[in-house]
Structure 1
Amino acid sequence: MYLAGSLATAVWASFAGAAEPQLYETGPAIDSSFVRFVNSTEMPLEVRSNRKTSLSVPTGQRVSAFFPVRAGASLAGELSQGSARRAINMAVKAGQFVTVVGSVGEGGSLLGTAVVEPPAEFTSLRASLALYNLDSTCAKGQLLAVTQNALVFPDVPPGSAQRRVVNPIGLKVQAQCGGVAAGASLDLGHLEAGKRYSVFLAKGPRGSFVFAVTDAIAR
């Protein structure tokens, strides 16, 4: 079963999404796609769409909700942070979940990277968990279920994400790079059936760090 079209809309309707500005034009349910923004920097990140609608992504709340967008449409705009700017220009296919990550490059430049999740397996009886490897220096991102001592994700290349369904249980995780702990462990609490969760491994000026979010759709 794949999370796309009207099924995606029905599933996301059950999430408690935050009230957010509508950055882009939405489309018919059958063509639903989703885009969100992540701030992996140490300063607030501003997002402005070509519709002149803006969104702030602070460091205390690094991940925005997913915005439904019209599949195939060109999504243009920019990320900004102080005087630094990075243009956004992409198209999202039907059923895709796209995460646009703002990060700091060489010389303090602002980078914008799109990580695309294709339509994925979904069941309302299990939870959905993803690992995003946003650390360009981590060639082999991993996620360890601490209590079970089992790798949930054994090999996630930098700039990509992997997702799978898991049992709705209490879960504490540790991100790793090639078997070496990266950042602090995270207690995700008791995962709920029918919900999506994302864990992010990123690189900051003080080393690797991790953060997580329960995925939500903007309303």
Structure 2
Amino acid sequence: MFPLAVALTLAACSASAAAEGVLAQLYAARPPAGSSFVRVVNPHVNPLQAQVAQGPVQEIGPDRQATTYAIVKGNQPFDVRIDGKLAGTLQVAPDTFSTLVPRRDGGRLSFSVIDDNAGAQDALKAELRFYNLATDCPAGQLSVSPSGPILFKDVEPGASAAR
């Protein structure tokens, strides 16, 4: 009787572990404690090569506007390279999501850092995020067709909103 009880217990544990693995795939990724997720977005026409910290070099442009998120240590400097050259050394708070938008100021490259933390906390739901990257648009808005509902309203320049 004892070996049967052990076998049933092990079977139940392995079934729940397998189910947990399947469910874990549904949840949004979270940075490890004390770390943050950082990516680069390129809203411009010309593609560029971007690298965050020690992550892979990724081409971003009209066909693919954003890199994947790189994991960096919170409150610690990390390098960002654009087209193989050091474009900046940045630092973000721990346990955050940030999007970097490169901007050319004359011959110099700088970054706008957009905080992507606000949004849905339910990791089982899809999230739609809107970025207002137009510097001359004081209240960015996104609606569905001319007569459809407004999805995002009054998003300030250099900010994002999610739902």
TM-score range, shorter chain: 0.5 to 0.7
Tell me if structure 2 keeps the 8 A contact 1:102–1:110: yes
Q: Deviations over 1:168-206 (max 9, x none)?
A: xxxxxxxxxxxxxxxxxxxxxxxxxxxxxxxxxxxxxxx
Cα RMSD of the aligned pairs, angstroms, is 3.2
Shift of 1:136: 0.8
Shift of 1:54: 4.7
Counterpart secondary structure, 1:11: coil
Alignment partner, residue 12 of structure 1: 28
Q: 1 CA distance for matches of 2:84 and 2:151? A: 38
Counterpart secondary structure, 1:61: coil
Q: 1 CA distance for matches of 2:108 and 2:159? A: 21
Partner amino acid, structure 2, of 1:141: G
Q: 1 CA distance for matches of 2:102 and 2:40? A: 8
Name whichever structure is richer in helix by fraction: 2
Q: 1 CA distance for matches of 2:75 and 2:33? A: 14
2:38 equivalent to 1:35: yes
Name whichever structure is richer in strand by fraction: 1
Structure 1 residues 87 and 43 mapped into 2: Cα distance closer, same or farther (>3 Å)? Answer: same
Structure 1 residues 130 and 151 mapped into 2: Cα distance closer, same or farther (>3 Å)? Answer: same
Query: Which of 61, 79, 82 is 1:80 aligned to?
Result: 82
- Higher relative CO (Cα under 8 Å, sequence separation at least 6) belongs to 1
Structure 1 residues 108 and 130 mapped into 2: Cα distance closer, same or farther (>3 Å)? Answer: same
Alignment partner, residue 103 of structure 1: 103
Alignment of structure 1 residues 84-163 onto 2, 5 Å:
86-94=87-95, 96-105=96-105, 107=106, 109-118=108-117, 120-123=119-122, 126-146=125-145, 149-163=148-162
Structure 1 residues 135 and 110 mapped into 2: Cα distance closer, same or farther (>3 Å)? Answer: same
Max radius of gyration: which structure?
A: 2
Counterpart secondary structure, 2:134: coil
Alignment partner, residue 212 of structure 1: none
Q: Deviations over 1:115-135 (max 9, x none)?
A: 012253333564311111111
Q: Deviations over 1:21-63 (max 9, x none)?
A: xxxxxx7x34453111111223232334554x55133312111
Partner amino acid, structure 1, of 2:89: I
Tell me if structure 2 keeps the 8 A contact 1:47–1:77: no
Q: 1 CA distance for matches of 2:125 and 2:51? A: 35
Q: 2 CA distance for matches of 1:89 and 1:32? A: 14
Structure 1 residues 116 and 124 mapped into 2: Cα distance closer, same or farther (>3 Å)? Answer: closer
Residue ranges of structure 2 left out of the alignment (5+ in a row): 1-23
Q: 2 CA distance for matches of 1:122 and 1:147? A: 30
Shift of 1:143: 0.7
Q: 1 CA distance for matches of 2:144 and 2:114? A: 23
Structure 1 residues 129 and 37 mapped into 2: Cα distance closer, same or farther (>3 Å)? Answer: same
